[in-house]
Amino acid sequence: MDKIYIVGHKNPDTDSVCSAIALARFKELTGAENCVAVTAGKINKETEFVLNYYGVQVPEVLESVEAKQKLILVDHNEYGQAVGGADQAQLVQVVDHHKVGGFQTAEPLYVRIEPVGSTCSIVAQYYKEKGLVPEKAIAGILLAAILSDTVIFKSPTCTELDKVIAAELAAIAGVDPKTFGIDMFKAGSNIAERTPQSMIEEDFKAFTMGSHKVGVGQVSLMGMDGFEDVRANLNKELENYRNSQGLRYICLMVTDILSDYTELIVKGDNPEEVAKAFGKELVNGSVELPGVLSRKKQVVPPMTTYFSA
Amino acid sequence: MDKIYIVGHKNPDTDSVCSAIALARFKELTGAENCVAVTAGKINKETEFVLNYYGVQVPEVLESVEAKQKLILVDHNEYGQAVGGADQAQLVQVVDHHKVGGFQTAEPLYVRIEPVGSTCSIVAQYYKEKGLVPEKAIAGILLAAILSDTVIFKSPTCTELDKVIAAELAAIAGVDPKTFGIDMFKAGSNIAERTPQSMIEEDFKAFTMGSHKVGVGQVSLMGMDGFEDVRANLNKELENYRNSQGLRYICLMVTDILSDYTELIVKGDNPEEVAKAFGKELVNGSVELPGVLSRKKQVVPPMTTYFSA
């Protein structure tokens, strides 16, 4: 039987990786044994902590696929964010929680997109709808992804459904969501262990805003201890990254989860234009955004509106 | 509370209309009372028979919507097939069984697309997943739409799921699917009562094939009695329709459900090119296609392949 790869977006995050693994297991439980979870790049420290905690094997990295490969996309629906060659593959399913970005298919397929906080909340519903209870490890990684994408339920993208499902999963996984979430974010945010490049690439996406190509990354930290030590190198690396990607602006959300605060570092020829998008002044090359946690809901929309005007 | 219109495609068929009505009722049963089923045009004779049989009110016709109107699209996902103004509306949900045609949204929304025979098979699953049993009339119109789109389970688009769901619905609706299906198709195909224009427009869609714009309609008949009487007028009207729509080719599938046979009438400058797409000769301006029932699976793919080569 033809293999079907289940794969999240490039620069994989915990939701991308865990939704692929949990969906592959669901497929196996419901009789489809040819589905294999893979990743579109190396997993990050946070995801490594989660898989290690529950003794789940790290999926194989697959950075490109051949034409006609059967593919299930999780946590994204735009070919631009997908594994190389995805636009020539045969999509059989899409499971996602982002806006629809104009993908096309040659044949009807399964698509399920819901405006919830995490793709894993949708995968957990597949289990519920079939009357299946995920094993402890699968429940644990599904919960981890919900905690990751909703920043322990604090992000404005978090819905009631995410909370209900997370509570059910936590009971199976045998952890307290808040404690587990903080441990997970700490594992992912150890500044001393990280290179500036890894902080930029951890969760980086490029957007078209008006006529500009703008990159926005996000690094989530548990407190700002040690951050000032890396700032100079991070600034230099952001300039390099901007040039290599040909971006009008590059922005990095440095989000402190403990204090619900984001510092948006901005590089580009007129960085004060980005500050204006938030009705703010630029302070030492950054925009201060108290209460901001979500790129999707709180950072990209005002910038897109400003640069499209 | 803002009204949300639930609407199928232009030239509405039974699946479009019944999935909108049954989804609106499901929304009401699950606490959302602001969803209203409408149609993107006048309903056809077949749908009229179905709604009348179960005493269900005909939805209001709404041929265009204002900008920012909240919309749920059923049985289609391409703005080109949708009610006027849909591309400026705020999509909140899409429920469909067609290929994905590249639609985009500004925000995440609910999308559920499955490769099954009828949108109503997906709507019936919403009821099942919530443990709800549709009322007799709703079960009846859901069944009717499945019978219509799958040509009483004979179309290659029909899946096992469609058959299972149809059997469950038939038990609630108190009808024999085959008898009811034949009565329904008869009501929709009374040739003597119909104008050539209504036969062309009954189920008409335009496609881009290679560099050509090609229209393909389908009229489903229960036997060919009386068809020769309308052929001359139908030929004339097809030429008119082709010119008014600026089409390279216009094709009409005249499908006799009783004998599993389609005659494809072709108009255009080189109609024999269309015959070649099926590896056939043109006979009196038509291509004879025994065993062909599905435009989506059996007619559009070979034509698209031929004209894209």
B251 backbone dihedrals φ, ψ, rounded to 5°: -125, 140
Strand intervals (E) in chain A: 4-7, 35-39, 60-61, 70-74, 90-96, 110-113, 204-209, 212-221, 249-256, 261-268, 286-290
Distance from CA of A157 to the nearest CA of B (A): 10
The verdict on a CB contact (< 8 Å) between B115 and A98 is no
Asked if A210 is an interface residue toward chain B (Cβ–Cβ < 8 A), one would say no
List, for residues A133-170, the tens digit of each pLDDT value: 999 999 999 999 999 999 999 999 999 999 999 999 99
User: Which CATH superfamily, name and number, covers A4-186?
Assistant: inorganic pyrophosphatase (n-terminal core) (3.90.1640.10)
**Chain region(s) in chain B for CATH 3.90.1640.10:** 4-186
Tokens 């469909």 found at: B96
Contacts of B158 in chain A (CB under 8 A): none
Q: Tell if the CB–CB gap between A115 and B107 is shorter than 8 Å.
A: yes
Q: Is residue A68 within 8 angstroms of chain B, CB to CB?
A: no
At residue A87, the pLDDT reads 92
* CB-based contact B111 A100, cutoff 8 Å: yes
Q: What is the pLDDT of residue A202?
A: 83
**Which of B102, B112, B115 has the CB atom closest to A103's CB atom?**
B102
* pLDDT at site B3: 95
pLDDT of res. A139:
98
Provide, as residue numbers in chain A, all residues whose Cβ is less than 8 Å from the Cβ of B103. 100, 102
pLDDT digits (tens, 9 = 90+) for A104-117: 998 899 999 999 99
pLDDT surpassing 80 at residue A81: yes
The Cα of B95 is separated from the nearest Cα of chain A by a number of Å equal to 10
Task: Please tell me the distance in Å from A284's CA to the nearest CA on chain B.
Answer: 32
Asked whether this complex has an ipTM greater than 0.90, the answer is no
A97 in contact with B, Cβ within 8 Å = yes
Q: Give the count of beta carbons closer than 10 Å to the beta carbon of residue B163.
A: 16
* Residue A169 dihedral angles phi and psi, to the nearest 5°: -70, -40
CATH of domain A191-308: 3.10.310.20
Interface-testing mutation among A30, A76, A100, A160, with chain B (most B C-beta atoms within 10 A): A100
pLDDT for A1 beyond 90 = no
Neighbours of B131 (CB within 10 A): 6
Inform me whether the C-beta atom of residue B30 falls under 8 Å from chain A C-beta atoms: no
DSSP, res A260:
T
Q: Do A107 and B115 touch (CB under 8 A)?
A: yes
- Chain-chain contact of B99 with A114 (C-beta, under 8 angstroms): no
CB contact under 8 A, A103 and B98: no
What's the Cα-to-Cα distance from B248 to each of B210, B231, B239, B286, B306, rounded to whole Å?
11, 21, 11, 16, 14
Best interface-test mutation with A: which of B100, B116, B207, B304 has the largest number of A CBs within 10 A? B100
Chain-chain contact of A104 with B101 (C-beta, under 8 angstroms) = yes
Does A297 reach chain B within 8 Å, measured CB to CB?
A: no
How far does the CA of residue A177 sit from the closest CA of chain B (Å)? 26
- Stated length of chain A: 309
Strand ordering across the sheet containing A204-209: A204-209, A212-221, A249-256, A261-268, A286-290
CA angle (B89, B94, B98) in 5-degree steps:
120
In chain B, CATH 3.10.310.20 sits at: 191-308
Residues of B in contact with A114 (CB under 8 A): 108, 110-111
Separation in Å, CA B169 to CA A11, A103, B14, B22, B165 = 46, 34, 16, 12, 6
Q: Per-residue pLDDT for chain B (309 aa), expressed as one digit of tens each?
A: 789 999 999 989 999 999 999 999 999 999 998 999 999 999 999 999 999 999 999 999 999 999 999 999 999 999 989 999 999 999 999 999 999 988 999 889 999 999 999 999 999 999 999 999 999 999 999 999 999 999 999 999 999 999 999 999 999 999 999 999 999 998 988 888 889 998 998 889 999 898 999 999 999 898 898 899 999 999 999 999 999 999 999 999 999 988 899 999 999 999 999 999 999 999 999 999 999 999 988 999 999 999 988
Average pLDDT, chain A: 95
Q: Which residues contact A96 (CB under 8 A, 6 or more apart)?
A: A73, A74, A75, A76, A77, A112, A113, A119, A122
A131 and chain B in contact, CB less than 8 A: no
- Give dist(CA A42, CA A37) in Å, integer: 13
Residue A219 to chain B, least CA–CA distance (Å): 23
Between chains, do A102 and B103 touch, taking CB under 8 Å as contact? yes
Q: Do A99 and B115 touch (CB under 8 A)?
A: no
How high is the pLDDT of residue B282? 96
Nearest to A39 by CA among A69, A13, A3, A70: A13
Give which of A14, A82, A10 is closest to A45, Cα–Cα: A14
Contact with chain A for residue B210, Cβ under 8 A? no
